[in-house]
Chains A and B, each alone.
Chain A
Amino acid sequence: MDLAALIIADSRFPGGGHVHSGGIEEAVVRKLVVSERDLPAFLLSRLRTAGALAATFAAAAAHATTREVRSGHWRRLDAEFDARTPSQAQRAASRAQGRGTARAGRVAWPSPALSDLLGECPRPHHPIVLGVLVGVPHDAAMAAAYLAVSGPASAAVRLLGLDPFQVNAVVARLAEPMREVCAHAADVAGHDPATLPAPSSPGLDLFAEAHAAQHEEEVRLFAS
């Protein structure tokens, strides 16, 4: 695995990921996740939906850096991610992390592809920036899929005081489905953006909307 992918997947990477819970704060407030036992189902479904979408677009963006793409490609890829992300709150969370990742990426890994992307989309979606920075489709997919579950897992530890060893083991047991998700993302990475898969989770979309709406009235510790 490329070092860039490891650095970006590291929770110490200063790209703003630590203030996002991937919907688990809302699930915790609603008492849908109360203990370590509830985590595998939440994380697995997140991996197969939002995680698979992120992995797919990260791989596609990485693939695009390895071939000649027409001007406007990044904008199209970004718009296709919009089309697959109906919740405004989810899009805002993705763009916030994309912007943070780009800010860190411009310093660590400047490249013509990154400049092209930011020229066409000043605030690109997170998986697309990630893919451009990593540049290797399968590695980019792995980093995106891992972040899709490691973020909520560590948020759950902070929100519920869960046993970090149990939570770490839950994440480790996602290895097989994560391999499947990433293999598929890498397989379709070179396809036309419009034909990329569109896995989605209406539940997570609604959680994200509720999180944003309720933050006005009640305390939410995470931005999403």
Chain B
Amino acid sequence: MRVEHGHGHGHHHQVDFDPTATAPDHHDATPHAGRAYRIGIGGPVGSGKTALTAALCRALGDELELAVVTNDIYTTEDADFLRKAGVLAPERIEAVQTGACPHTAIRDDITANLDAVERLEEKFPGLDLVIIESGGDNLTAVFSRGLADSQIFVVDVAGGDKVPRKGGPGVTTADLLVINKTDIAHLVGADMTVMTSDAHRMRGDLPVIAQSLVDTPDAPAVAAWVRSLLPTRTR
């Protein structure tokens, strides 16, 4: 049976619907794959989460078995960007739909993200690292410890130099705070000294990295921080 639908956007999609193809689903036992280290990258929309993810793939792709889960509200947007950037094989990127609630999907109900991580672990046994990029959210969004082993919160100078001072769990508790786009600080009138000292004051001993992905496209400081988290590998 083939049904054509129009739905007001002026174009049509075919729906394949073949009831004879509906034998009971298969139940292959899930091979228990090893567990990869999981890093969550959160922060407001546009702060540079996808750009940082791409930078980390470039910096670490040769030394680690990597995969990425993206949660952009426009689900495939980030995944498409990463595929086009060519920094990671497309089959190593999973896009997750968050039901219009990006913070729920990384914190209160992490099921969809865990499923995506586990799919990648099953597909690529021996995976070292999975980067989970949250859909852009506000300053209160954090990853559940059940989903991410460590988390990076990314803010940018364009959001104003008061952002670190505002605090919120993202800024105060993330394992690493990245202040991104330092290359445009002078254009938006952001005072980097204020931003970094506020960030350190809010975070106590937790690390802060100010960077520009225009000046340093491979995010060397963040990549070094990620390396320091992973168990040393013999390859």
Contact = CB atoms under 8 A, between A and B. Distances in A.
Grouping DSSP codes into helix (H, G, I), strand (E, B) and loop, the B interface class, with mixed when no group exceeds half, is: loop
B27 A75 contact: yes
Interface in A84-126: 85-88, 91, 95-96, 99-100, 103-104, 120-123
Contacts of B63: none
Contacts, number: 118
Interface residues of A, number: 50
Contact of B98 (A14, A19, A88, A123): A19
Nearest to A120: B27
B74 interface: yes
A197 B15 CA distance: 27
Nearest to A100: B111
A155 B17 contact: no
Given A158-B100, A220-B97, A206 B3 contact: yes
Interface stretch (B5-13, B34-42, B84-92, B198-206): B5-13
Given A87-B17, A103-B114, A214-B13, A18 B24 contact: no
A91 B25 CA distance: 8
Interface string A36-79: 00000000000000000000000000000000000000010011
Interface stretch (B48-56, B102-110, B149-157, B207-215): B102-110
Given A18-B109, A20-B99, A209 B24 contact: no
Given A78-B24, A103-B114, A210-B15, A14 B3 contact: no
Interface string A203-217: 001100110011101
Contact of A19 (B9, B23, B28, B97): B97
A205 B17 contact: yes
Interface residues of B, number: 39
A24 to B, nearest CB: 11
Contact of A213 (B8, B13, B99, B110): B13
B17 to A, nearest CB: 5
A210 B3 CA distance: 10
Grouping DSSP codes into helix (H, G, I), strand (E, B) and loop, the A interface class, with mixed when no group exceeds half, is: helix
B228 interface: no
Interface in B96-150: 96-101, 104-105, 108-112, 114-115
B99 A221 contact: yes
| Residue picked from B3, B24, B112, most chain A C-beta under 10 Å | B24
A209 B108 contact: no
Interface of B: 3, 5, 7-9, 13-17, 19, 21-25, 27-30, 73-76, 96-101, 104-105, 108-112, 114-115
Given A209-B17, A221-B100, 9 more contacts: A14-B108, A15-B109, A17-B109, A79-B24, A86-B22, A96-B112, A100-B115, A122-B28, A213-B15
12 contacts: A12-B109, A14-B108, A18-B104, A19-B112, A20-B99, A82-B24, A87-B17, A122-B29, A219-B74, A220-B97, A221-B75, A222-B100
